[in-house]
């Protein structure tokens, strides 16, 4: 029987027919598409025609399009709706794909043809996007071993295969520890301080497990409110230790040895390819070109933020001492006393704000803001299949009625879904043979579920998370390029966060909040005093937040910017790095590295600094919106035409300068954060 995944989908815009796909379909489908792609590549290398841009570089770019759809579907589901069968298959499929990728990149005849075109690039009549594709394609061979001898290529294949399996294992261990822990409370007095909605959700969690009382988990919608509001300090400590010690228990799910293997294999791979370190390898293809530049950037921000962070920590410590006679502020006190101090200084309580941020209203507000800026319209689509009942589906159109994208939104936590929030792609935008292929874009979050008596009400932090991921989605949806590999979010990693982070700024603006911040029961608009307080509190404890982000960037570079052979004890190494940013005492029972999925499971190795890098870009860029008006169509049009639609077709700094008229200023971020005078 033929596999549905290998067919052309008979659905709207060839969307994925999730309900008709079985998990067991994937291995065969992927093997079939690998064979198809091999045949496409053989057709390129077998031709007797001299290598040209069209018959080699462009032809190669359009190979494996169906393989991309099938694999992205599998791995997206493995993050958002996984199970044991899928995780087991991932361990089988990942090495297959890694091996095939190496077969392509180490294909001598194919590389010869690409290299022949690359060597005559200055004599070819190519536009900017074609130049970028040729450059990217040549480098993808050279940077992945095409110039190595056969023995070295064999070593590279072995390293890549092992790295793909280790990354998957790392993520599975974190998910297993997240799912296996629960804080089961049976004494009602232990709920002191917790908001009614959080208590109700915990009651619902316990009932779902067939237990009495209340259950709190390590999923963010449960964990964060408990750490923010629970008066019981010992229970906060207990939950904090559970969260901070994921995959750090010396058991089958421990990640310490996996980290050591990953960092050493990455270093070995970089050296094999002629680079000093993994960071040197990665940063060659970033706006920040070297570890030296990244470390200088992090140090500049650290030097400016640390005095402010230390003042804030002193203020917070004094407040906790005065309120509860706390002699030493600990990590499990941080969110709790920060929230109480914020309430005192700004009379602003997340629980007061939540009724104004009903999930459905916020989604509609996001759509309205995107409409006002970019002319987009979002229509709910019942005829688009989905992988879970919680998923919402939309067709996106522009002002003229032209179809722009398919948009999936998946908002609530469940057992088969990893923590956090992310944007992803099921199909890229591209053009081929005068046909326009529009993208299928998804955002996945973990927001509080509705309960029998309350809808899903978001904290303000969750509102900014939704805006952040939707900013990424806009980058994917508004893509307007010829080649899939340069489309949407296929940009340098320290540029990819600009569209997401700039979109968060609208959350703090009165004109934007008026579009969606209405009370879920009364329908009244959010009081303007709350809006002012949101704005005033935007930079509350920003020094401490900045230090925290910088600590992760520094830790990332410490693993990847040097020869890691000397890193034997992961916890000791982490503690040493954090000394330059630590405000709280270190706890031997916890280790952040063992669940640092961004760099050991995701794609952020040697790239965590990019969040702060992109914050500089977004703060500088938003100053232009503030100057001209946050809904100014000309500024929005320029941002769309120069940033959102262009993907990776040109150098990001050139694109940025075309939008802004100048290079970004780091002080724009520090001004917004209140860390230097405006």
Please say whether the beta carbons of 448 and 609 come within 8 A.
no
606: phi > 0 → left, psi -120 to 50 → alpha, else beta; which?
Answer: left
Please say whether the beta carbons of 493 and 607 come within 8 A.
yes
Report the alpha-carbon distance of residue 246 to residue 250 in Å, rounded.
10
Mapped onto helix, strand or coil, the DSSP state of residue 396 is strand
**CA-to-CA separations, 367 to 361, 363, 378, 417, in angstroms, rounded:** 10, 6, 7, 25
User: DSSP letter at 53?
Assistant: I
Please say whether the beta carbons of 291 and 277 come within 8 A.
yes
Measure CA 262 to chain center. Answer: 20
Please say whether the beta carbons of 457 and 355 come within 8 A.
yes
Helix, strand, coil % in the chain, rounded to nearest 5: 60, 5, 35
For the stretch 341-356, what's the b/e string if a residue is b when 16 or more beta carbons lie within 10 angstroms of its beta carbon? bbeeebebbbbebbbb
Closest CA to 411 of 420, 401, 403: 420
Give the Cβ contact number of residue 172 at 10 Å: 22
Please say whether the beta carbons of 464 and 608 come within 8 A.
no
In the chain, what is the greatest distance between 2 CA atoms, to the nearest angstrom?
A: 82
Measure CA 654 to chain center. Answer: 24
H or E segment at 426? strand 422-427
Q: Which of 469, 504, 509, 574 is catalytic?
A: 469
- The answer to whether 589 is a known catalytic residue is no
**CA-to-CA separations, 13 to 8, 283, 377, 380, 389, in angstroms, rounded:** 10, 37, 17, 15, 21
Closest CA to 59 of 126, 105, 20, 110: 110
Catalytic residue IDs: 469
């Amino acid at each position: 029987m033929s596999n549905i995944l290998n067919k052309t989908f008979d659905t709207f815009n060839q969307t994925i027919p999730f309900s008709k796909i079985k998990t067991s379909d994937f291995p065969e489908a992927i093997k079939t598409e690998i064979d198809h792609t091999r045949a496409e590549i053989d057709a390129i290398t077998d031709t007797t025609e001299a290598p040209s841009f069209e018959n080699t570089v462009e032809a190669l770019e359009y190979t494996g399009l169906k393989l991309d759809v099938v694999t992205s579907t599998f791995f997206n589901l493995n993050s958002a709706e996984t199970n044991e069968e899928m995780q087991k298959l991932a361990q089988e499929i990942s090495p297959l794909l890694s091996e095939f990728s190496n077969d392509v990149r180490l294909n001598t005849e194919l590389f010869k043809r690409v290299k022949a075109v690359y060597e005559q690039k200055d004599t070819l009549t190519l536009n900017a996007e074609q130049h970028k594709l040729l450059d990217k394609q040549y480098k993808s061979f050279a940077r992945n071993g095409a110039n190595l001898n056969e023995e070295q290529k064999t070593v590279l294949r072995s390293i890549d295969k092992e790295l793909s399996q280790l990354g998957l294992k790392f993520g599975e261990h974190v998910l297993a520890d997240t799912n296996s822990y629960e804080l089961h409370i049976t004494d009602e007095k232990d709920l002191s301080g917790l908001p009614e909605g959080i208590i109700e959700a915990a009651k619902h969690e316990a009932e779902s497990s067939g237990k009495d009382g209340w259950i709190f988990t390590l999923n963010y919608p449960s964990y964060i409110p408990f750490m923010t509001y629970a008066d019981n300090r010992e229970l906060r400590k207990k939950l904090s230790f559970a969260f901070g010690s994921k995959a750090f228990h010396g058991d089958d799910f421990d990640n310490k040895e996996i980290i050591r293997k990953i960092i050493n294999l990455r270093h070995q791979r970089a050296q094999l390819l002629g680079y000093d370190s993994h960071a040197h390898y990665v940063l060659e293809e970033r706006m920040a070109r070297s570890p030296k530049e990244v470390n200088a950037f992090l140090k500049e921000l650290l030097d400016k933020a640390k005095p402010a962070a230390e003042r804030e920590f002193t203020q917070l410590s004094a407040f906790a001492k005065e309120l509860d006679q706390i002699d030493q502020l600990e990590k499990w006190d941080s969110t709790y006393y920060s929230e109480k101090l914020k309430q005192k200084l700004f009379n602003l309580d997340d629980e007061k704000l939540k009724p104004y941020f009903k999930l459905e209203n916020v989604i509609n507000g996001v759509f309205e803001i995107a409409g006002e800026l970019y002319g987009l319209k979002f229509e709910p689509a019942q005829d688009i299949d989905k992988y879970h009942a919680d998923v919402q589906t939309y067709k996106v159109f522009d002002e003229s009625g032209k179809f722009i994208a398919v948009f999936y939104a998946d908002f609530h936590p469940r057992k088969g879904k990893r923590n956090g929030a992310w944007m992803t792609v099921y199909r890229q935008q591209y053009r081929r043979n005068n046909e326009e292929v529009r993208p299928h874009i998804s955002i996945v979050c973990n927001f509080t579920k509705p309960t029998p008596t309350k809808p899903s009400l978001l904290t303000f932090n969750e509102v900014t998370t939704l805006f952040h991921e939707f900013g990424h989605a806009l980058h994917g949806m508004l893509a307007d390029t010829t080649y899939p590999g340069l489309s949407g979010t296929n940009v340098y990693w320290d540029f990819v966060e600009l569209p997401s982070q700039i979109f968060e700024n609208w959350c703090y603006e009165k004109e934007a909040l008026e579009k969606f911040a209405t009370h879920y029961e009364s329908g009244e608009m959010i009081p303007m005093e709350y809006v002012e307080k949101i704005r005033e509190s935007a930079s509350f404890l920003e020094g401490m937040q900045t230090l925290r982000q910088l600590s992760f960037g520094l830790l990332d570079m410490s693993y990847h910017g040097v020869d890691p052979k000397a890193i034997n004890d992961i916890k000791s190494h982490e503690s040493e790095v954090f000394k330059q940013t630590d405000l709280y005492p270190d706890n031997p029972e916890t280790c952040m590295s063992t669940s640092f999925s961004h760099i050991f499971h995701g794609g952020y190795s040697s790239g965590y600094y990019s969040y702060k890098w992109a914050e500089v870009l977004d703060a500088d860029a938003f100053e232009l919106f503030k100057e001209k008006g946050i809904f100014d169509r000309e500024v929005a049009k320029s941002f769309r035409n120069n940033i959102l639609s262009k993907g990776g077709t040109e150098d990001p700094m050139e694109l940025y300068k075309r939008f802004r008229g100048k290079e970004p200023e780091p002080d724009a971020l520090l001004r917004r954060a209140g860390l230097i005078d405006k």
